[in-house]
Structure 1
Amino acid sequence: MPEPCDPTLVAALSQVDTSTLGHWRLWGLCDPALRPLAPGMKACGTIVTLALPGPDGALLHEVLSQVRAGDVLVIDRLGDTRHSAVGGVVAAAAALRGLAAIVVDGPVADLAEILAAGLPVWARGTSQRTTRRLGLGGRVNAPVSVGGVVARPGDLALCDGDGVVFLSPAEAARDIEMAQYAATREAFIREGLAKGIALNDLLSPPALAGSR
């Protein structure tokens, strides 16, 4: 398993919204079709990756015995859009391991059971067609493509109601600082709106200079 990211960094990044990062990041932003299974889900943690071939879920079951509390399991389904690799039993096992979340580039099954397990999951919807234990293999902790973005083991995943972002620890440290400035700027703008100032005026360079 990859080296866990600094817990202090994870805690700070978890306070940031993915849409805040979307104001300046041009990379690391997953396809918005990857959605949380329920409103209010949010997670942040060290990425563990898995590339899983279409109808086979055997390697996923092995990986679930190795993941650690706070990890985010990111699953590349290698283009498969029909088979659900994550269901109620997998979600229960992952939750008991303390997994922070699962991000799967494909559908899931047993929606009610996953929600009952309390595990945050981001996926492309649901499917009644499930994987089997076929032993076709796959890859663990190699770079994968999920939501059109490369996810690397040991990097960070930030997931919320607006989507999923993958970023390195170094990028996260910089983005946390930028998010703090963005929060100050937004508070300034909202205060101005409450005073009746036009949004266009508040967004002018002289006005924004006063928000620093």
Structure 2
Amino acid sequence: MTPHDLHPMPEQCDPTLVAALSQVDTSTLGHWRLWGLCDPALRPLAPGIKACGTIVTLALPGPDGALLHEVLSQVRAGDVLVIDRLGDTRHSAVGGVVAAAAALRGLAAIVVDGPVADLAEILAAGLPVWARGTSQHTTRRLGLGGRVNAPVSVGGVVARPGDLALCDGDGVVFLSPAEAARDIELAQYAATREAFIREGLAKGIALNDLLSPPALAGSR
């Protein structure tokens, strides 16, 4: 029996929340977040790209890409498709045709925990993709199964359907809508503080004089 574990598409996140989070840099979140930050080996295929949207998850086994083709008929504009390759680092599940189909569906991005193929075609499709590199070994339509819209592990982080993915040149972060709302406020404070520091530097003030003193070990 083919092992499929299929779940409904998650509700999309509030567009206002997505728009606000898209203004935040992943490295800004890295100043305080201890989880949700993916392995930095997951890199954008092109410089200067950024994406943010509702997570749709897929767990895809080894050399099989059949379930990915089914999922592409379900994804919606603004979704970020997050693909767990279940440890496979050899076979590319995302290539030129998949990228073209995803772009036509309005997908915000694909994050795949493995390699891609047809790099030039993916770039030409204009679809933002984060991956672990490229491979000439491609998946096939084998029907081995997989999971759709269940929690997956990508870049060492749990991605849950219906949560948010923020992706930019520094990497990928997964976070819940509640975490996003809180972190947007923290990022706004951080931006104000950074502007203050840059203004001080422009006036010739030493960086150390603009920063708060470090906390002492054992202090209360």
TM-score interval (norm. to shorter): over 0.9
Question: Quick check: 1:202–1:208 contact (8 Å CA) kept in 2?
Answer: no
Tell me: CA distance 1:185–1:59, structure 2 relative to 1, closer, same or farther (3 Å). same
Residues 201, 207 of structure 1: 8 Å contact kept = no
- How far off its partner does 1:186 sit? 0.1
Q: Deviations over 1:4-33 (max 9, x none)?
A: 000000000000000000000000000000
Q: 2: CA distance between counterparts of 1:153 and 1:114? A: 24
Structure 2 gap segments, 5+ residues each: 1-8
**Matches of 1:148 and 1:96 in 2, distance apart?**
30
- Name segments (4+ residues, structure 1) moved above 3 Å: 205-212
Q: What number of residue pairs does the alignment pair up?
A: 212
Q: Distance in 1 between matches of 2:219 and 2:95?
A: 48
Which position in structure 2 is the counterpart of 1:38? 46
Whole-Å separation in 1 of the counterparts to 2:29 and 2:214: 24
Does the aligned pair in 2 maintain the 1:155–1:169 contact within 8 Å?
Answer: yes
> What CA deviation, in whole Å up to 9, does each residue of 1:99-144 have, x standing for no partner?
0000000000000000000000000000000000000000000000
How far apart are residue 210 of structure 1 and its match?
Answer: 26
CA-CA distance at 1:204 after TM superposition? 2.6
Q: Partner of 2:6 in structure 1?
A: none
2:57 is paired with a residue whose SS is strand
Distance of aligned partners of 1:132 and 1:198 in 2 relative to their CA distance in 1, 3 Å threshold: same
Identity among equivalent pairs (%): 98
- Is the 8 Å Cα contact of residues 47 and 154 (structure 1) preserved in structure 2? yes
What are structure 1's unaligned runs of at least 5 residues?
Answer: none
- Using the size of structure 1 for normalisation, the TM-score is 0.97
- Alpha-carbon spacing, 1:206–1:76, altered in 2? closer, same or farther (3 Å): closer
Partners of 1:32 and 1:4 in 2: how far apart?
A: 26
Alignment CA distance shift 1:210-1:9 (3 Å) = farther
CA contact (8 A) 1:45 1:71 kept: yes
Instruction: Map Cα deviations across residues 30-63 of structure 1 (whole Å, 9 max, x no partner).
Output: 0000000010110000000000000000000000
Task: Give 1:104's aligned residue.
Answer: 112
Cα RMSD after superposing both structures: 3.4
Change (3 A) 1:201 1:172: same
